[in-house]
């Protein structure tokens, strides 16, 4: 194999070039419509120069819900320090209050995903109510940052056939999580870090919340420790790249063999 190695975007570890694909910088002409846009462009990933192959290397997807909020900017700096990419499951009303922060998230190469308009329990809403929650959030994210989320996380993980059907109609798989440090309940950086570090396995989706300063303060330790164990920090879409995500279905981790079929 050629001697070419790439100092990857994640963890600073050298990666064999057979495990990465290099994506051209964002020099494409503007598409005529959103429908024509490259899927990567739609989800705001054009700034990723190196795309890791998580079918071959050890990846984890850190996800941050319910923002953006005051500490999100601090989190972006921390993620940059470790060359880590993450996914922000944003709430529409929060995007409306701070659209510039969502632009920042996109500018730093992170993925923006849909976490409903106002954090309602979608499983208690009518079909049209669910669709409205998804649509309003898609629209406000697009207005704020020019990207359209391709993933849904229903608040509280509360889902049912109506939510699945709405997600499917928007072309979005439902991304739940494999690791939950209960950071909304225990506002302790050391507890949150310990739980994430004790439970994270290759291919996991990890749930956290950037609305809690204690969670943001836990992230440096999480990144340092998982980097040391050889993890690469990727967006959810990159975690699942090459493993087909079915709109409406639920996922908590790669590989797809663990997919829960929607009943
Ligand atoms: Ni939430």
Give 14's DSSP letter: E
Q: Residue 50: which pLDDT band, with cuts at 50, 70 and 90?
A: low
List pLDDT tens digits, range 219-228. Answer: 999 999 999 9
What is the structure's pLDDT at 112? Answer: 98
Ligand 1 centroid, distance to 95 Cα (angstroms): 14
The answer on pLDDT for 208 being more than 80 is yes
pLDDT at 52: 79
Does pLDDT of 39 surpass 90?
A: no
Q: Given pLDDT bands bounded at 50, 70 and 90, which one contains residue 105? A: very high
**Ligand 1 center from residue 140 Cα (angstroms):** 17
**pTM confidence score:** 0.81
Least confident interval from 26-30, 110-114, 247-251 = 26-30
Give the H or E element holding residue 65: strand 59-65
Placement of tokens 């996800």 in the chain: 63
Q: Is the pLDDT of residue 26 over 50?
A: no
Q: What is the mean pLDDT of residues 125-129?
A: 98
Alpha-carbon distance of 154 to 119, in angstroms, equals 8
89 CA distance to ligand 1 middle (Å): 8
Kindly tell me if the per-residue pLDDT of 36 is higher than 80.
Answer: no
Residue 152 confidence class, pLDDT cut points 50, 70, 90: very high
Stretch 28-34: mean pLDDT: 37
The whole-number average pLDDT for the span 77-81 is 98
> What's the pLDDT tens digit per position in 186-195?
999 999 999 9
Whether residue 256 has pLDDT greater than 90 = no
Q: Given this model, what pLDDT does residue 244 score?
A: 85
Q: What local confidence, expressed as pLDDT, does residue 177 receive?
A: 98
Rg (CA), the chain: 17
CA of 64 to the centre of ligand 1 (A): 9
User: What is the distance in A from the centroid of ligand 1 to the CA of 58?
Assistant: 27
Confidence grade of residue 254 (pLDDT, cut at 50, 70, 90):
very high
Q: Give catalytic residues, as residue numbers.
A: 65, 209
Q: Which of 17-21, 83-87, 236-240 has the lowest mean pLDDT?
A: 17-21
8 CA to centre of ligand 1 in angstroms: 30
Which DSSP helix (H) or strand (E) runs through 233?
A: strand 232-233
b/e map of 164-177 (b: 16 or more CB within 10 Å)?
Answer: bebbbebebbbbbb
pLDDT band, residue 46 (cuts 50/70/90): very low
- Going by C-alpha positions, the residue among 160, 147, 152 that lies closest to residue 133 is 152
Percentage of the chain beyond pLDDT 90 is 75
Mean pLDDT of 92-104: 98
């Amino acid at each position: 194999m050629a001697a070419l190695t790439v100092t990857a975007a994640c963890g600073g570890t050298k990666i064999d070039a057979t495990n990465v694909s290099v994506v051209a910088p964002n020099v494409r002409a503007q598409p005529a419509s959103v429908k024509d846009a490259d899927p990567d462009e739609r989800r705001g990933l054009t700034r990723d120069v190196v795309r890791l192959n998580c079918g071959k290397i050890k990846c984890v997807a850190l996800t941050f819900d319910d923002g953006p909020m005051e500490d999100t900017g601090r989190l972006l700096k921390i993620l940059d320090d470790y060359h880590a990419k993450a996914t922000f499951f944003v709430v529409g009303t929060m995007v409306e209050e701070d659209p510039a922060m969502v632009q920042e998230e996109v500018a730093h190469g992170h993925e923006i995903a849909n976490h409903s308009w106002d954090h309602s329990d979608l499983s208690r809403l009518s079909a049209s109510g669910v669709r409205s929650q998804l649509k309003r959030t898609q629209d406000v994210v697009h207005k704020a940052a020019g990207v359209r989320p391709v993933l849904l996380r229903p608040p509280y993980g509360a889902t049912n056939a109506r939510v699945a059907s709405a997600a499917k109609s928007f072309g979005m798989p439902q991304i739940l999580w494999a690791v939950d440090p209960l950071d909304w309940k225990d506002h302790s950086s050391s507890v949150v870090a310990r739980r994430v570090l004790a439970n994270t396995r290759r291919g996991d989706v990890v749930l956290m919340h950037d609305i809690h300063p204690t969670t943001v303060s836990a992230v440096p330790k999480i990144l340092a420790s998982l980097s040391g164990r050889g993890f690469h920090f990727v967006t959810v879409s990159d975690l699942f790249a090459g493993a087909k995500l079915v709109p409406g279905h639920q996922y908590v981790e790669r590989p797809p063999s663990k997919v829960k079929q929607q009943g």
